[in-house]
């Protein structure tokens, strides 16, 4: 489904709506949002970070059990150095704020991706954030940083190959279930719904293995910094209208 006009959607009784258990969001459009306003791209990332915090809290409040957000991809290192430096500062400031502001929120934060590529101080803060929220029983928030779906699959292949090589695993025992256990999100269900604002219609290397049967909602008319809780609700409404057959009839 591609949303082009907010007024064209059918109404739905939200009291009877089926919520997805796991939602993924490709937080796209920060740079374009800033460019439209004559601002540096970093300004869009700052506003996008505030939107992220708002949507995270809202998702938890309405009963979403798992939320995965695409914050920084393995390909994002190709961006200009000043933009990457600004993003690292935003990530650091966000984590400092999260440790303070989310302390009362029942949200468990998990980072997926190869975080060893980040500075030691950012890595330390990532580990501290995970440790402090480890006992939380509410929504699981996966923040994908230095994450790429292809890299994740290659990681799984290397780990499984190592088990075969050392004799702890037989090749004939490799199946989809075992492969899934080598994904970053192995303790969680696969995403039911993936939302992408900003008018781009591609997966961008996000949760490639896990999204085999995900429902996608592309939102044409909005960039991530302008994404609201009502936009989130519209995507959830659209998900509830879907007939998910998983290859069956």
Q: Is 220 designated active site? A: no
Residue 246 sits at φ, ψ, to 5 deg, of: 50, 40
Distance linking the first and last C-alpha atoms of the chain: 20
Quick count: other Cβ atoms within 10 Å of Cβ 142?
Answer: 25
Decide: residue 78, CB within 10 A, 0-12 exposed, 13-18 middle, 19+ buried.
Answer: exposed
Q: In what order do the strands lie in the sheet with 66-73?
A: 2-3, 215-219, 193-197, 22-26, 66-73, 139-147, 107-112
Q: Exactly one of 5, 76, 142, 175 is catalytic; name it.
A: 76
Are 41 and 82 in contact by the 8 Å Cβ rule? The answer is no
Choice among 28, 190, 192, 231 that is catalytic = 28
- Residue 2 tokens read as 């591609």
Pairing of strands 22-26, 193-197: parallel
30 is catalytic: no
Contact 130, 57 (CB under 8 A): no
In 10 A of CB 168, how many CB atoms? 8
Catalytic residue numbers? 28, 76
């Amino acid at each position: 489904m591609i949303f082009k006009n907010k007024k064209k959607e059918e109404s739905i009784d939200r009291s009877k709506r089926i919520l997805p258990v796991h939602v993924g969001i490709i937080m796209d459009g920060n740079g374009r949002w800033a460019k439209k306003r004559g601002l540096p791209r970093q300004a869009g990332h700052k506003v996008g970070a505030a939107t992220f915090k708002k949507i995270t809290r809202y998702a938890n409040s309405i009963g979403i059990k798992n939320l995965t957000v695409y914050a920084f991809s393995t390909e994002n290192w190709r961006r200009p150095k000043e933009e990457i430096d600004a993003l690292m500062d935003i990530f650091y400031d966000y984590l400092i704020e999260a440790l303070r502001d989310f302390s009362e929120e029942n949200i468990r934060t998990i980072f997926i991706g190869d975080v060893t590529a980040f500075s030691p101080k950012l890595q330390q803060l990532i580990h501290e954030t995970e440790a402090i929220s480890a006992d939380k029983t509410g929504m699981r928030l996966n923040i994908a940083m230095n994450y790429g779906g292809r890299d994740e699959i290659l990681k799984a292949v290397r780990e499984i190959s190592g088990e075969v090589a050392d004799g702890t695993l037989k090749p004939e025992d490799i199946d989809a279930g075992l492969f899934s256990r080598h994904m970053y999100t192995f303790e969680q269900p696969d995403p039911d719904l993936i939302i992408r604002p900003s008018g781009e219609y591609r997966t961008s290397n996000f949760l490639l293995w896990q999204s085999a049967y995900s429902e996608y909602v592309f939102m044409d008319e909005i960039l991530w910094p302008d994404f609201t809780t009502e936009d989130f609700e519209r995507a959830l409404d659209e998900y509830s209208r879907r007939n998910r057959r998983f290859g069956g009839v």
